[in-house]
Amino acid sequence: MLERIKSQLEALSSAERKVAELVLEQPYTMMQAAVADIARNAGVSQPTVIRFCRSMGCSGLPDFKLKLAGSLVTGVPYVHSSVRPEDPTSEIVAKVFDNTVTALLKSRNDVNPQAIEAAIEAISRARRVEFYGLGNSGITAADAQHKFFRFGISTVAYADTHIQMMAASVLNADDVLVAISSSGRSRELLDAVEEATASGATVVAITASGSPLARAATIALMADTQEDNETYSPMISRIIHLVLIDVLAVGVALRRGPGVIGQLEKTKHSLKAKRLAERTEED
């Protein structure tokens, strides 16, 4: 229904177009609104709302709402929704969730299995794995380090550009650097990647396609989203980066075999023993 409205927008009368634009902007609110509310919010008469519904091939407003709901319950909106200052809370919730779900499904469909396989293979064989990121990506790098060190892999995460540069210079051909960046244009991170490459390390980049970081990496995992990373703090791309890290973690765990389970159990028992010792000292 949303796609039908968008495609027929120019063919509608000026009054009906106002209703159409309101539906595209606030589809979830429209599903619960009465005809009088829709007319008032769109600035048209109630008969215009009914005419719009019939122009969309529906018998009336109830039939239109039913078909609109069918479009929305799929979880993937047909149009990219941007949050607006005047949006009610219900629309903000729906748009943020739906935009994220849409981006995740697009990323899943666009992912390159060969690149994922190459990254898993490189990390599984690595002597040491280092994760670099700046700002929000630094937090993602820390999350990745937390996941992989539990597998018994020597890992570290750096978010400081000076330390990244120094650490990259001592990597070798047995090591892997995972560089994470939404824009892929940070000069400091690119310098560290170039240093790691010169040292012989394998560089896995999680970043935007076509970016300088993607071109500089040995293996590039693309995370493309419709958001302004230059102006605003990345939101959707951050979620995609975390999911790609999870994909790599699961792949590496499966590649390393039963030994990973043993390592996880060992870590779990060590933590339990430490907590027990701390309680004993307190008593």
Percent of the chain at pLDDT > 90 equals 53
Instruction: Give the mean pLDDT of 245-269.
Output: 77
φ/ψ of residue 81, rounded to 5 = -100, 125
pLDDT above 70 (res 231): no
Residue 269 buriedness (CB in 10 A; 0-12 / 13-18 / 19+): exposed
pLDDT higher at 198 or 2: 198
CATH 3.40.50.10490 in the chain, residues?
103-264
**172/169 Cα distance (integer angstroms):** 8
DSSP count for the chain of H helices, then E strands: 14, 5
Instruction: Work out the angle between the directed axes of helices 136-149 and 236-256 (0-180°, nearest 10).
Output: 20
**216/213 Cα distance (integer angstroms):** 5
Q: In this predicted model, what pLDDT tens digit does every residue of 83-94 receive, in sequence order? A: 777 778 887 888
CA dihedral 227, 203, 153, 130 (to 10 degrees): -70
Is the CATH code 3.40.50.300 the one for domain 1-71? no
Task: Give the pLDDT score at 150.
Answer: 84
pLDDT above 80 (res 125): yes
Task: Give the pLDDT score at 80.
Answer: 45
Q: Provide the CATH topology of domain 103-264.
A: Rossmann fold (3.40.50)
CATH 1.10.10.10 in the chain, residues?
1-71
Q: Is residue 176 very low, low, confident or very high in pLDDT (cuts 50, 70, 90)?
A: very high
**69/72 Cα distance (integer angstroms):** 5
Tokens of 40: 């008032």
Task: Give the pLDDT score at 199.
Answer: 94
Location of structure tokens 């071109």: 215
Q: Which residues pair with 29 in a beta bridge?
A: none
Nearest to 223 by CA among 100, 78, 75, 124: 100
Average confidence score pLDDT of the chain: 86
Location of structure tokens 């106002």: 18
